[in-house]
Structure 1
Amino acid sequence: GKKAPKPALRKEEQKSEDISNVFVLDQFVEFPSKDGFEISLDMTVEFELLPKNIAWIYRSYGDLPAVVDKIIMPQILSVSRMKGSAYGAKDFIVGEGREKFQNDLTEALDRVLNERKIKIHGALIRHVNVPMQILDPIQQASLAIETDLTNKEKQNTAKKQAELNTELSMIQQRGEQVAQETEKMKAEIQAEQEKQVAEINADTLKQTALIEKTIAEVKAEKTKRMGKAEADAFKLVEGEKAVGSQLKVKAFNDPMAYNLWTFANTLNPDIKIRVVHAGDGTLWTDLDKTQFGNVGGAKLLQEKK
């Protein structure tokens, strides 16, 4: 078979205080698969020599190139062949099988080399060479699967888009329905408010009418009572006056005397009495001598003259 190229070794930058000597080994490995196909892997192995173990490693195996040639490379080839022969060629092409092989290889290398005080951090498969007689059908099948998955995904996307459009349409319809219901509610609220205002106004007018009616009734009752009170007072006063007059008449013991007394009380205090002496039939002519010559019959006699 082909001779494997010499591995390339490089030192990684220090990652922490506890990891001071981390190296990366790039190696090309060949082995037969479970189904008899020749498989070649381009892999990168990351390993570490702990400071506390370096002296022992150098005494046991020599310097770093010697450690790689005597210990690490043989174990990589041995473990790769052992683990790789348990996988079919297809497993190194399909992602899941390839990842599983990579994890198994890392765990096995770490377990074996840890006994020699060498720490394995990881084994990364970068490239796999598989014979075209199996690679092409697998790639075609994978392509068909990917195409089918793509078509299904497109169908799902179209379905989701249709569902989304339906949802958006329903949301829009619901929005319009909500807007209509809102306008309806606003109209109902406004109508209810107007109804309440009208009822309040009607009730106010009714209450006002009742109050005015009550006021009118109170005024009428007041007028009635005031009239009755005035009539009763007038009746009482006049009755008392009548009683007083009766007492006065009774005091005079003669109605005519009472009348004369009343007449005398009603005369003007400034009245003057004159006695005119006249003969028979000369009263009117003698009135000229008095201040009554211009009144009554005396005035008529004067006009005839």
Structure 2
Amino acid sequence: MKFIKLLSSLIILAAVSVFVAANFLFIKIDLGETGVRTQQYAVFGAKGVVPEDFGPGWHRNLPLLDTWKIFDSTVQTTEFTTEQERQATRKIYSFLSSTSQRYLDASSTGSTGQVELKSKDGYTVRLDITVKYRVSPNEVHKLYQELGSEARYKGIVRDQVQKTIRDIFGTMLTEQFYDPEVRRTKTVEAKKDLKGELADSSIDLIDILIRDIAFDPSYERKILDKKLADQDVELNKSRALAEDKKGETNRIAAETEAKVRVIEQELIAKKLTMKADTDKEIAQLNADARLTAAKLKADADLYKAEFEAKGTLLEKEATAEGERLKATALNTPGGENLVAFEIVEQLNLGEITVSTQSNDFLDVASVLEKVGANAE
């Protein structure tokens, strides 16, 4: 039983010792941080800053021998802006996560007013700028040796940014600040120069952003008056162009109307030509029809005349034959009786007085002989 109690005491003592050793003999570096260790004495190595960057994890921290300086290795932000803009940014980030709060705290320590400079033509221009940077990887110990503190290297960033911006953007005319292409070219130039300057101090420039530009109120009024004057000029040009276009429109309208009239006259002439051609074709058809009808009528008349002539000929021939046959018949004994009969039949006598003494009507032969008939 005593052994178990002793073992338990030893385990507890060992755990406490480990805990104490971990807190007093080691240091923990979190993510996003880089440590720099300085040896106070030449024990277990040379005295001074250890030429090495220590990343996240547990590292040696011997009392009285080691001292540590922890640097934020994440991307830092320095804003050159107005206090109103800074307060608005703080209000936005106050609703976000702890990481964003960390960004807010880091950016606020490096904030300053807008970068103010004189343009080439003497006007004051204020630039709202955001700069992104960090300590160069594997060079944190160098920065510590040269500058000694994190606040000092951020101050170097602020000073160098203002100097570079004034040197490069100060060569621009005030009116050129309105040109986005010129601003972009100057920003690229400033970034290149600033990156080289900060690299000598073990600072890595990520980017530089020109967010806003403010001018002197007098210059802004001058620009406004100029823009209004330019607009008046453009308006007058537009009006003159409109008048020119109006004359051009009238000319085009007149030409179009003339072309329409020509087309209408051509259509009328074409219609008349087509009508004349149609009338000619109709007249030709009518003439052809009349000619055909006349030919047909002539053929019919000829056919009729031929048949009429044949009929007349036949009639004449029949009459002649009848006369011949009649003459032949008259030459016969019965012919004399027929002639006498026709003579008697054709007599149209009224009341006559015949002497019965001279004529004996009972003597038939005598009567027939008197009228030329033959009783035989």
Corresponding position of 1:250: none
Amino acid at match of 1:176: E
What is the rounded CA distance, in whole Å, between the counterparts of 2:150 and 2:125 in structure 1? 20
The RMSD of aligned alpha carbons is: 5.6
Amino acid at match of 1:161: A
Amino acid at match of 1:43: D
For residue 254 of structure 2, the aligned residue among 158, 166, 173 is 173
What is the rounded CA distance, in whole Å, between the counterparts of 1:144 and 1:5 in structure 2? 27
SS at match of 1:28: coil
Corresponding position of 1:104: 189
The answer as to whether partners of 1:83 and 1:105 remain within 8 angstroms in 2 is yes
TM-score (norm 2): 0.44
For residue 124 of structure 1, the aligned residue among 195, 210, 213 is 210
Amino acid at match of 2:269: E
The gaps in structure 1 that reach 5 residues or longer are 14-20, 246-254, 268-280, 298-305
What is the rounded CA distance, in whole Å, between the counterparts of 1:151 and 1:283 in structure 2? 157
What is the rounded CA distance, in whole Å, between the counterparts of 1:149 and 1:36 in structure 2? 21
Count of matched residue pairs:
243
Please list, as runs of the form range in 1=range in 2, the aligned pairs for 1:177-192 lying within 5 A after superposition.
177-192=258-273
Amino acid at match of 1:104: E
Percentage identity across aligned positions?
7
The answer as to whether partners of 2:120 and 2:173 remain within 8 angstroms in 1 is no
The answer as to whether partners of 2:132 and 2:205 remain within 8 angstroms in 1 is yes
- Bigger CA drift: 180-189 or 22-31? 22-31
1:217/1:118 CA distance change after superposition, 3 Å: same
The yes-or-no answer on 1:206 pairing with 2:287 is yes
Please list, as runs of the form range in 1=range in 2, the aligned pairs for 1:129-144 lying within 5 A after superposition.
none
What is the rounded CA distance, in whole Å, between the counterparts of 1:81 and 1:128 in structure 2? 18
For residue 77 of structure 1, the aligned residue among 138, 141, 159 is 159
1:5/1:174 CA distance change after superposition, 3 Å: closer
What is the rounded CA distance, in whole Å, between the counterparts of 1:91 and 1:110 in structure 2? 25
What is the rounded CA distance, in whole Å, between the counterparts of 1:282 and 1:40 in structure 2? 183
Amino acid at match of 2:332: L
Corresponding position of 1:154: 235
Q: Once the 2 structures are TM-superposed, how far is the Cα of residue 210 of structure 1 from its aligned partner?
A: 0.9
- Bigger CA drift: 26-35 or 147-156? 26-35
Please list, as runs of the form range in 1=range in 2, the aligned pairs for 1:10-49 lying within 5 A after superposition.
27-30=112-115, 41-45=126-130, 47=132
For residue 260 of structure 1, the aligned residue among 332, 335, 360 is 332
Query: Once the two structures are superposed, what CA deviation does each residue of 1:102-144 show, in whole Å capped at 9, x if it has no partner?
Result: 3433555577779856643x512523567x9xx76x975x578
TM-score (norm 1): 0.52
The gaps in structure 2 that reach 5 residues or longer are 1-80, 95-101, 340-356, 372-376
Corresponding position of 1:164: 245
The answer as to whether partners of 2:118 and 2:170 remain within 8 angstroms in 1 is yes
What is the rounded CA distance, in whole Å, between the counterparts of 1:256 and 1:86 in structure 2? 160
